[in-house]
């Protein structure tokens, strides 16, 4: 066992609710929550700020290594992410950062850097970590793995609801198209593509309300009878 508990890995495609569900699970079981997507987004944001090419693996690796990464405790179960002392928040959800993060996530050197940092962040356990390759690559030894899925249409509908709820414009067809393209990019890349680990529990949330998904994961956690 790890000193602070187990590692709960949640993987799945874009917009499936891994962060929302993961944070709720973390709050229920008293664990920390880490979004690895935000780490890719943070590096992408820094690359856009400093003009480093999104194709240049060696330059991005150098950029990542030169930065001071920290994950201070946030307001809820989710750790904040800070680069050189600056906490990044809203800037990470910008569309340009989304696209750039998906582009740099294809690169082998960037992925190796991220894997080392993510393992370091979760090694002591007591953590819910979400991403695309946590159960397959970052923590193949995670004690609980969940692959969360939902149809692209259901994910697009939820995203439209979210955006409209924030008073933002939202076009269903455009969002669906974006989700399908992101899926293809995340599952089709050569290095650590998105896929379900053989020993991951598959949860399809297309017809399942969020609370039921959270209950299911907490139930799996409790059945392991760990702290
Ligand atoms: O989950 P997200 O949308 O914040 O992730 C941003 C991008 O980073 C996404 O296009 C896929 C990539 N990513 C990845 O390749 N591996 C991870 N473990 C997490 C995210």
Domains of the chain by range and CATH?
A: 7-223 (3.40.50.300)
> What average pLDDT does the structure give for the chain?
94
**Ligand 1 centroid to residue 81 C-alpha, Å:** 15
Residue 227 pLDDT level (bands cut at 50, 70, 90): low
Substitution candidate for ligand 1 out of 13, 91, 101 with most atoms within 8 A of CB: 101
pLDDT digits (tens, 9 = 90+) for 208-223: 999 999 999 999 999 9
Q: What percent of the chain has pLDDT over 70?
A: 99
Q: How confident is the model at residue 186 (pLDDT cuts 50, 70, 90)?
A: confident
Assign 185 a pLDDT band (cuts: 50, 70, 90): confident
Does the C-beta of 40 come closer than 6 Å to ligand 1?
yes
pLDDT beyond 90 at 174: yes
Radius of gyration of the chain (CA): 17
What confidence tier does 51 reach under pLDDT thresholds 50, 70, 90?
very high
Please give the distance, rounded to the nearest whole angstrom, from the Cα atom of residue 38 to the centre of ligand 1.
7
CA dihedral 176, 177, 178, 182 (to 10 degrees): 100
Q: For a pocket test of ligand 1, which of 19, 94, 105 has the largest count of ligand atoms closer than 8 A to its C-beta?
A: 105
97 or 166, higher pLDDT: 97
Q: What region, left, alpha or beta, does residue 175 occupy, with left being phi > 0 and alpha being psi -120 to 50 degrees?
A: alpha
126 lines ligand 1 (CB under 6 A): no
- Ligand 1 atom nearest to CA at 134: 18
Ligand 1 binding pocket includes 101 (Cβ within 6 Å):
yes
Query: Does 226 have pLDDT greater than 90?
Result: no
- What distance in angstroms lies between residue 78's CA and the mean position of ligand 1's atoms? 16
> Is the pLDDT assigned to residue 127 strictly greater than 70?
yes
In this prediction, residue 182 carries a pLDDT of: 86
Confidence at 119, pLDDT banded by 50, 70, 90: very high
What token pair was written down for 122?
């979760």
> How do residues 136-166 score in pLDDT, each as one tens digit?
999 999 999 999 999 999 999 999 998 899 8
The conformational region for residue 84 under phi > 0 = left, psi -120 to 50 = alpha, else beta, is left
Ligand 1 centre distance from Cα of residue 77 (Å): 20
Between 75 and 227, the more confident residue is 75
In the block, tokens 């969020």 appear at 210
Q: Measuring CA to CA, which residue among 10, 60, 75 is closest to residue 216?
A: 10
| Rama region for 225: left / alpha / beta (φ>0; ψ in -120 to 50; rest) | left
The answer for residues whose C-beta is within 8 angstroms of residue 16's C-beta and 6 or more apart is 148, 149, 150, 155, 205
* Residue identifier of the C-alpha nearest atom 11 of ligand 1: 102
Look up residue 201 and give its two tokens: 């529990």
pLDDT digits (tens, 9 = 90+) for 18-31: 999 999 999 999 99
* Nearest Cα residue to atom 9 of ligand 1: 102
């Amino acid at each position: 066992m790890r000193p602070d508990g187990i590692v709960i890995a949640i993987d799945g495609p874009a917009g499936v609710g891994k962060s929302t569900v993961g944070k709720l699970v973390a709050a229920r079981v008293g664990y920390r929550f880490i979004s690895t997507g935000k780490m890719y987004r943070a590096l992408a944001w820094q690359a856009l700020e400093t003009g480093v090419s999104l194709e240049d693996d060696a330059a991005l690796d150098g950029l990542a290594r030169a930065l001071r990464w920290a994950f201070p405790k946030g307001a809820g179960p989710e750790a904040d992410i800070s680069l050189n002392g600056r906490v990044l928040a809203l800037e990470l959800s910008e569309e340009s950062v989304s696209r750039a993060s998906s582009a740099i996530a294809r690169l082998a050197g960037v992925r190796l850097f991220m894997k080392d940092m993510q393992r370091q962040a979760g090694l002591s356990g007591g953590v819910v970590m979400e991403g695309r390759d946590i159960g397959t690559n970052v923590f193949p030894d995670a004690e609980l793995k969940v692959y969360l899925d939902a149809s692209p249409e259901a994910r697009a509908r939820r995203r439209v609801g979210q955006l409209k709820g924030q008073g933002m414009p939202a076009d269903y067809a455009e969002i669906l198209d974006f989700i399908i393209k992101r899926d293809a990019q995340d599952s089709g890349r050569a290095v650590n593509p998105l896929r379900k680990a053989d020993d991951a529990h598959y949860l399809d949330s297309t017809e399942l309300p969020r609370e039921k998904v959270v209950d299911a994961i907490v139930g799996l956690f409790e059945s392991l009878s760990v702290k």
